[in-house]
């Protein structure tokens, strides 16, 4: 807004200078060579006019360049807020479906090709510095006619890395696809006991954004062999791997 106001003031000033010193300016144009008949005032008027034209031209180019950069900006950083739906499986036990879940992640895309292919396509490496995922499971056990409610709190803290592809479509619409390896620490809490261990996860999905905001969907799967942590006895490992498989839908902010 300020740039447009300044541009308007400069244009009005240029017109005023032309009208005020029009005769002197004509005299300058009529001179075949620079000589002593050109007054100092005429020279200053010509200089001010040229300076004003130059400033106006530079302002117009700068405004156009800013618009172009904004329209075709490749946004590298991202923050995702998501809803989680997951299934937890273990041999010899019933599969558990999550009742609710949430996720938060923050990261950046490092583009590999400096110039977009065809002006619309860039390959990159996604690095998610921080990814936290939480799911809640509830289960009812019926024994001898009595119902017992069990609740599991399960989650991971991880970092992700993997290849990605970004495509500019119509206007400011952008599609981003990726597949990432996610080494994690996974934890499981049930019946006043906490279990945890290293876990291997993989995440793959895509998002579509308009300017800085968008929606995404991704699949997430992995497994973990939990160990009991925090007991007075030595850590006890569970006999079987626990498998996690689910999806996350999220709101993404790119900047």
Q: What is the pLDDT of residues 112-161, one digit of tens each?
A: 999 999 989 999 999 999 999 999 999 877 667 677 788 999 999 999 99
Selection from 52-66, 193-207, 224-238 with the highest mean pLDDT: 193-207
- Asked if residue 190 has pLDDT above 80, the reply is yes
Between 13-27, 43-57, 151-165, 223-237, the lowest mean confidence (pLDDT) is in 43-57
pLDDT at 236: 54
Stronger pLDDT, 29 or 161, i.e. the higher one: 161
Which residues are registered as beta bridge partners of 201?
A: 182, 222
Angle made by CA atoms 89, 156, 87, in degrees to the nearest 5:
25
How far is residue 208 CA from its own chain's centroid?
A: 11
Return the domain boundaries, the chain: 2-71, 77-254
57 contacts: CB under 8 Å, gap ≥ 6: none
Please provide the CATH number assigned to the domain covering 77-254: 2.40.160.20
Could you tell me where the DSSP H helices lie in 21-127? 22-30, 40-71
pLDDT band at 55; cut points 50, 70, 90: very low
- Asked if residue 56 has pLDDT above 80, the reply is no
Q: How far is CA 98 from CA 90, 135, 152, 247, in A?
A: 14, 6, 9, 11
- Share of residues in the chain with pLDDT > 90 (%): 56
Stronger pLDDT, 128 or 37, i.e. the higher one: 128
């Amino acid at each position: 807004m300020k740039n447009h106001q300044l541009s308007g003031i400069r244009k009005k000033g240029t017109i005023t200078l032309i009208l005020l010193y029009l005769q002197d300016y004509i005299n300058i144009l009529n001179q075949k060579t620079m000589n002593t008949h050109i007054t100092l005032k005429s020279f200053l008027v010509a200089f001010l006019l040229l300076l004003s034209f130059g400033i106006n031209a530079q302002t117009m180019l700068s405004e156009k360049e800013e618009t172009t950069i904004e329209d075709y900006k490749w946004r590298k950083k991202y923050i995702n807020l998501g809803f989680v739906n997951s299934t937890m499986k273990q041999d010899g036990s019933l599969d558990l479906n999550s009742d609710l879940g949430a996720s938060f992640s923050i990261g950046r895309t490092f583009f590999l090709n400096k110039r977009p292919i065809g002006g619309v396509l860039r390959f990159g490496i996604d690095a998610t510095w921080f990814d936290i995922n939480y799911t809640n499971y509830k289960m009812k056990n019926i024994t001898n006619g009595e119902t017992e409610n069990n609740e599991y709190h399960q989650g991971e803290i991880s970092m992700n890395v993997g290849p990605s592809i970004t495509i500019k479509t119509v206007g400011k619409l952008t599609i981003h696809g990726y597949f990432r390896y996610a080494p994690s620490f996974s934890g499981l809490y049930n019946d006043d006991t906490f279990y945890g261990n290293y876990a291997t996860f993989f995440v793959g999905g895509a998002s579509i954004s308009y300017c800085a905001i968008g929606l995404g969907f991704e699949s997430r799967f992995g497994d973990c062999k939990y160990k009991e942590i925090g007991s007075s006895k030595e850590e006890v490992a569970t006999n079987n791997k626990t498998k996690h498989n689910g999806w996350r839908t999220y709101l993404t902010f790119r900047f």
